[in-house]
Structure 1
Amino acid sequence: MPPPPLFSVEQWMDKYETTAKFNIAETCCASVSIEELASLSENKECKASDIIDLAAIQNYGEIRGSTPLRNNLSRLYSSKVGTPLPPDNILITPGAIAANFLVFYALIKPSDHVICHYPTYQQLYSVPASLGAEVDLWKSKPDNKWLPDFDDLKAMVKDNTRMIILNNPQNPTGQVLPKSLLQQIVDLAASKDILVFSDEVYRPLFHGITPMDKDFPPSILSMGYKNTITTGSLSKAYSLAGVRVGWLASRNRDIIEQCASARDYTTNAVSQLDQQVAAFALSPDTLHSLLGRNIQLAKANLELIERFVIKHDEYCSYTKPVAGTTAFVKFERDGKPIDAKVFCETLQAKTGVMFLPGDVGFGDEWKGYVRIGYVNRTEVVKEGLEELRKFMRKEYDELPLCE
């Protein structure tokens, strides 16, 4: 297997995030300390020292993941569905990035064809291609609230289509694939025995759509089709990126066993300490407060982004996100997209504000776009946008345009 191409998003983040004064390219909800996590528990007697068992022997522990953590995840995936998801149908991994890789490594072979929802995290299409699979991109439409066309998906399916890859909620746009479209995808996949894999790492951070909406998107595991797989982690919606815990789950136990066999070559076990923190964060005593904190943070900060875009609507535009932590904003001048790479480099050099250029992170066709991660702490977003406002007034007219 040849290595995939350079991972452009991660290369950019690695280069710039440690020197940013106002990192509003970050896609995680504002991270919390262990002490802050303990304070969110409904058990007001809880202290940070109670989260980790300091007396526990630090061996590998349960290889596929700790029982308390998988029980808590099982509870989340079993809510409001007729058939609970067994804990044994969940594998713990060192982050969602490892879970995603494991799904492809275990299930994709060179003769396969896969279809990937796009734009999205580069890993989701570059890794299958590096494994020798033929990859087609199912493109979301910016002029239709970033919804892809189901007829386009049907036309892409081939006799050797092995997997449909989704990202829901979607990075970088902050939009969702609605329930009605998910049902069409699942029905199509079931009719042709195609796997459906959904990266749900930004779930359940919904702030512009509620469960009362008829098209509120459930997890792909709740759509009634056995051959579905999902991945998630503590990094994005749960503010614990430094706790390297992710997972993959499926209704099909055979899929889990294939992934578990492949996992033997990549992961002996995930840190017991990390899993204890993860289990605490996802416990009934903590989960709702933690998620509530992040949803309110997302709502408050998104209004700051909204006001900025409206005030500068002659230069920038976007579709307001309804979920996740990212907005995909297009910057133009004189009817042409700006050079987003130069924009982001100049902006950070002169103000300390960090964005991610869309054509660097998500493909050449996204010229003029930048991804903004707006669920940092509110003061960081507010101060960063104020620096951006000053930059727009003094420097924006000098930025080069794309042809």
Structure 2
Amino acid sequence: MPEISEFAVERWMDLHENTATHNLAETCCASISLSGLLSLSSPDSKVDDLLDLSQKQGYGAIRGSDALRTNIANLYAANPDNTEETNPITKDNILVTSGGIQANFLALYTIVKPGDHVIVQYPTYQQLYSVPESLGAEVSLWRAKEEKGWEMDVDELSALTKPNTRVLVLNTPQNPTGTHLPLPTLTRILALAQTHSLTILSDEVYRPLFHSTPHPAPPSLLTLSHTPKYHHKNILITGSLSKAFSLAGLRTGWLASPSPALLEKCASVRDYTTISVSQIDDRIASVALSQPTIHNILSRNIALAKENLTLLEEFVREYSWAVSWVRPTAGTTAFLRFRARDGRVLDDGVFCERLLAETGVLVVPGRECFGRGAEFGGWVRVGVVQEEGVWGEGLRRVAGFLDGAGYEGCSVLGE
């Protein structure tokens, strides 16, 4: 079996985030404390709702408490056909995991076998293609194109399929571009998956943070798969409290599927990793995903995203000689392309290291952390849902760097 590749973006963050004074690389919405969580909950909420000091700390509910799994299921309950019928998504469609990253790993370990052909939406989080490769699969990348606004071409996806194609991996909203798959694309993907009997893994950890969509936000594939027109059982969805819900420290994620059999296989694999999620985390997560708490968290984070994107848009406009982008529509990330004053492509790794050393601002180099080979030279990923004190001052420091000698001294690729 092939060895697994070094996880470039996680290694970059591990090496640098503790020395940064302004972490613009963070992809979680600005974190909240437990007291902050209570302030976003019902007026009569109290500490005892989050922490039961009398509860004995055993393993708890192995697959997640009924309360937590029910609240997670409610995230997918909206009917995209706008009929009165409610989608039959219940707690039995949910398996709680230790973060979204474990959910992805369990799903891939369950559905990918040596010799399989796997198609992965790209660019994306490295785990989604490196893990299938480590399991002995052949991986083809379904590439988005910047010149087309990072739009995905389903005809190209169809052309990538082979007789041994078994799995399609999606990431929507997408890391690092901050774009999402619209409803017409999702329905065509489901039709193709039905035709070719593909299992779909959709990493949706950035749902439901849709801050700039020109049309109503598309439903999750889990919701869509329950409608008669688009019915497809071989789907796994992953989600997390880390990104859109500001609670990365809880280490709580989930797998969701319309297929009890597929979820059961993932649960069997999970038995070999983490027996259960912490009872404390489970209880707090249940409160976070309850009403009105979840609504208040998302309203806070969408407002932060919109405010910060306005500042970033002004920055891109003012420094258009140095940076360009496709404005993100959802999630917490934006992908920026930097170039030298003469138009040549910057060495993004050198740029990021020098920016950190001179200003304390941390961002993520695209070529090193998201590229395969020479792809994404000059590209930089930022996380756009930071607190104002971090985001505003961080951008001001980046602007000062672009105006100074440090930027002039950054090397270009090919030299």
TM class by shorter chain equals over 0.9
Q: Contact between 2:78 and 2:87, CA under 8 Å: does it hold in 1?
A: no
Q: What amino acid sits opposite 2:335 in the alignment?
A: F
1:86 Cα deviation after fit = 2.1
Quick one: structure 1 residues 266 and 16, their matched pair in 2 at CA, closer, same or farther if it must change by over 3 Å? same
Matches within 5 A, 1:216-295: 216-224=217-225, 225-295=232-302
**CA RMSD of the aligned region, Å?**
1.1
Measured after TM superposition, the shift of residue 2 of structure 1 is: 4.5
Give me the whole-angstrom Cα distance separating, in 1, the residues matched to 2:125 and 2:73.
Answer: 26
Matches of 1:2 and 1:68, distance apart in 2:
40
Given that residues 35 and 47 in structure 1 are in contact (C-alpha distance below 8 angstroms), is that contact kept between their aligned partners in structure 2? no
1:207-218, aligned counterparts within 5 Å? 207-209=211-213, 213=215, 216-218=217-219
Q: Is the 8 A contact 1:122 1:362 kept in 2?
A: yes
Aligned structure 1 segments of 4 or more residues deviating by more than 6 angstroms: none
User: Secondary structure of the residue that 1:260 maps to in structure 2?
Assistant: helix
Equivalent-residue separation in structure 1 for 2:46 and 2:19 (angstroms): 33
Equivalences for residues 134-153 of structure 1 within 5 A: 134-153=138-157
CA-to-aligned-CA distance 1:296-351 (integer Å, 9 cap, x gap): 00000111111101000011000001101110000012121111101110111111
- 1:301-380 aligned within 5 A: 301-333=308-340, 334-363=342-371, 364-380=374-390
1:66 maps to what in 2? 65
- Picking from 404, 407, 410, the partner of 1:399 is 410
* Whole-Å separation in 2 of the counterparts to 1:47 and 1:355: 38
Give me the whole-angstrom Cα distance separating, in 2, the residues matched to 1:73 and 1:158: 35
**d(CA) in 2 for partners of 1:116, 1:20:** 32
Q: Which residue of 2 aligns with 1:159?
A: 163
Q: How many Å apart are 1:360 and its aligned residue?
A: 1.1
Q: Return the TM-score normalized by structure 2.
A: 0.94
**Which residue pairs with 2:228 in the alignment?**
none
Partner of 1:111: 115
Aligned residue number for residue 200 of structure 1: 204
Task: Describe the SS at the equivalent of 2:177.
Answer: coil
Listed one character per residue, the Cα deviations across residues 113-150 of structure 1 (whole Å, up to 9, x for unaligned) are: 11000000000000000000110000001001101211
Provide Cα deviations, 1:249-305, integer angstroms capped at 9, x if missing partner: 000111001101111111111101001111100001201001100000000011111
Q: Secondary structure at the match of 1:208?
A: coil
| Residues 2, 273 of structure 1: alpha-carbon distance in 2 compared, 3 angstrom cutoff | farther
Alignment deviations for residues 347-368 of structure 1 (CA, whole Å, 9 cap, x no partner) = 1111100000001110130000
Does the CA contact (< 8 Å) of 2:183 and 2:218 recur in 1?
yes
Partner SS state of residue 148, structure 1: coil
- The offset of 1:160, in angstroms, is 1.1
Structure 1 position 239, deviation (Å): 0.2
Name the aligned partner's letter for residue 388 of structure 1.
Answer: V
Q: Larger deviation: 230-239 or 392-401?
A: 392-401
Q: Which residue in the other structure is 2:229 paired with?
A: none
CA offset digits 1:40-89 (Å, max 9, x no partner): 01x21212343121111110011111111001011111222642212112
Partner of 1:86: 90
Q: Quote the Cα distance in structure 2 between the aligned partners of 1:321 and 1:256.
A: 32
Q: Distance in 2 between matches of 1:300 and 1:19?
A: 26
CA distance in 2, matches of 1:329, 1:48: 42
Alignment partner of 1:4: what SS? coil
Matched with 1:38 is 38
Q: Supply the distance in 1 between the matched residues of 2:241 and 2:330 (Cα, whole angstroms).
A: 16
**Given the superposition, is the C-alpha separation of residues 65 and 3 from structure 1 closer, same or farther in structure 2, using an over 3 Å criterion?**
farther
Partner SS state of residue 368, structure 2: helix
Q: Name the CA distance, whole Å, in 2 between partners of 1:305 and 1:83.
A: 38
**CA separation of 1:2/1:53 partners in 2, compared to 1, >3 Å: closer, same or farther?**
farther
CA distance in 2, matches of 1:79, 1:87: 15
Give the Cα separation in 1 of the matches to 2:343 and 2:47: 54
* Alpha-carbon offset, residue 196 of structure 1: 1.2
The answer as to whether partners of 1:39 and 1:47 remain within 8 angstroms in 2 is no
Residues of 1 paired with 2:309 and 2:278: CA distance?
A: 35
Answer whether contact 1:357 1:369 (CA < 8 A) is retained.
yes
Unaligned runs of 5+ in 1: none
Determine which of 96, 101, 116 is the counterpart of 1:97: 101
Q: Match for 1:125 among 125, 129, 139?
A: 129
SS at match of 2:403: helix
TM-score, structure 1 as length reference: 0.97
Q: Structure 2: 5+ residue runs without aligned partners? A: 81-85, 226-231
Identity %: 51
Instruction: In structure 2, give the amino acid aligned to 1:345.
Output: E
Contact 1:74–1:84 (CA under 8 A) maintained in structure 2? no
SS of aligned partner of 1:12: helix
Q: For 2:329 and 2:129, locate their aligned partners in 1 and report how far apart those are by CA, in whole Å.
A: 24
Q: 1: CA distance between counterparts of 2:326 and 2:87?
A: 36
The 5 Å alignment of 1:6-45 reads: 6-41=6-41, 43-45=42-44
